[in-house]
Amino acid sequence: MQKLLHVEHLVVTVVPRMDGILKMLGAAVFDCLVVQERCLPHPHGEWVDAIRGLPDPPEIILLREAENAENRARWLSKGVMAVLNQTLTDQVLGPTLWALLNRIREILIKEMRDSPLKEPFQLNDFATQSPRMRELIGLARRVAAADSSLLIFGETGVGKEWLAQAIHNFSPRRAMPFIAVNCAAIPETLLESELFGHERGAFTGAQKARRGYFEMAHQGTLFLDEIGDMPLHLQIKLLRVLQERRIQRLGSEASFWVDVRVIAATNKDLNRAMEEGHFRRDLFYRLSVVSLEIPPLRQRQEDIPGLALIYLRKFANQFKKPVIGCEPASMQALQTYSWPGNVRELINVMERAVLLAQESMVVLADLPPSLAAAAPEVVRKTLEGEKPVVDTSQSLKEAEEKWLTFFEQEYLRQVLLQNRGHLTKTAAQAGIQTRTLYNKMRKWGWSRKMFKHPPTPSH
């Protein structure tokens, strides 16, 4: 069997004893497990359940010495992909196995393409490897159930509205409206009317009464983005609403009660704004019962592979393209780039990459030129002994960690290419555990498919 599969140019790992299967599958990822029924320990069903219960289980092809329709149906109901008669000749069994393996590959591509994007509108959807982000999400979970005002800080594009929406969806108000308002996008002359509403004739052009966003968000959540751009006279009115829970439409003498949770956000330094007299301290204290700060993407580079693959899947599905991942060099470029536009910029880059991709993997040519040039140039200069350009805005520890990551990725990339993606051989050559290699590849968004076929030199 091993000889037959090697003829088909597959990477094959042979396990002589069945009790080593689960240990092997826990240390590396395999697309397919071909096993003889007579080698299975008893009870057979529990063994198959254990395999299928793994985080990334392989498809199972079972070889039997005799045909039995009832037995075959039982195995298929357990989740076995196929049951084959191992007494068949190599000329018959080989093409059958190869057809099944091709089918597995097609299934993997389809699952990647069809997997729906889970926008992070639930706190459990924020998949992160960053300790700072995990701490942030944990804090968000604890404060979601309360009605206290929240203030979210973060640069443009980090996902402040996403976090606010997720907090709302995790709260008892989840069934009620979530209204998002960008205070900087509404002209100052209209912002008061938009927030608090107006009566007919309240100003020129007010031909009929209109509800404001506070009314629309009754019993729900009102998200005030770019709160640092709100004019001072409206800050006073907002403070009064937060204190009294009552609003007054423009042009009306009557006020009425509203039940609204306010979550505000800004990309500005409000401490400086308060010192300069542009933001009221009493409003700041009222809003910031709990403050949440989302770190920029450049400070949580460990999250870039996962985020990139989430949006790659989204756009591959949207554009109906069989793009399933990023080549190591392109993923390295994504992790090296400073991302001034944060997650929003990453989304745009992945949309462009999938749109331009001509193969199943995103390559450097699919990325914007400035981004594509970043990582390969740095790594090439470092490995060739040239003096690299360093970012002096980083601390020594940050710079050291970045360079060590560059070297580690380039070293393992080359060893993986030499071994055509074989994890056990690569780990042995690198002097590390197979599980360590597997965890690093998952962290960087790498898969064995990237290394099974070395790239063809360009001329």
Domain ranges of the chain: 2-114, 123-295, 299-451
Instruction: Answer whether 0.75 is exceeded by the pTM.
Output: no
The one-letter amino acid at 142: R
In the predicted model, what is the mean pLDDT of residues 324-343? 85
**pLDDT at 67 > cutoff 80:** no
- Which own/partner contact pairs does 129-135 have at CB distance under 8 Å and 24+ positions apart? 129/300, 129/302, 129/303, 129/306, 129/443, 130/295, 130/300, 130/302, 130/303, 132/295, 132/299, 132/300, 133/294, 133/295, 133/300, 133/303
CATH superfamily of 2-114: Response regulator (3.40.50.2300)
CATH of domain 123-295: 3.40.50.300
159 secondary structure, DSSP code: -
Q: Where residue 1 falls among pLDDT bands split at 50, 70, 90? A: low
CA–CA gap between residue 132 and residue 106 (Å, rounded): 38
Average pLDDT over the chain reads 81
CA–CA gap between residue 148 and residue 317 (Å, rounded): 39
Closest CA to 97 of 10, 212, 197, 160: 10
Could you tell me if 202 and 249 are in contact, meaning their C-beta atoms sit under 8 angstroms apart? yes
Report the pLDDT value the prediction gives residue 419, as an integer from 0 to 100. 85
What the block records as the tokens of 19 is 């009790």
Report the pLDDT value the prediction gives residue 277, as an integer from 0 to 100. 95
- Indicate if 123-295 has the same CATH topology as 2-114: yes
pLDDT tens per residue, range 337-380: 889 999 999 999 999 999 999 888 888 889 998 786 665 454 44
Give the other-Cβ count within 10 Å of 130's Cβ.
17
Between 456 and 442, name the one with better pLDDT.
Answer: 442
Could you tell me if 409 and 328 are in contact, meaning their C-beta atoms sit under 8 angstroms apart? yes
Report the pLDDT value the prediction gives residue 385, as an integer from 0 to 100. 44
User: CB burial class (10 A; 0-12, 13-18, 19+) of residue 385?
Assistant: exposed
CATH of domain 299-451: 1.10.8.60
Between 85 and 19, name the one with better pLDDT.
Answer: 85
Could you tell me if 60 and 79 are in contact, meaning their C-beta atoms sit under 8 angstroms apart? yes
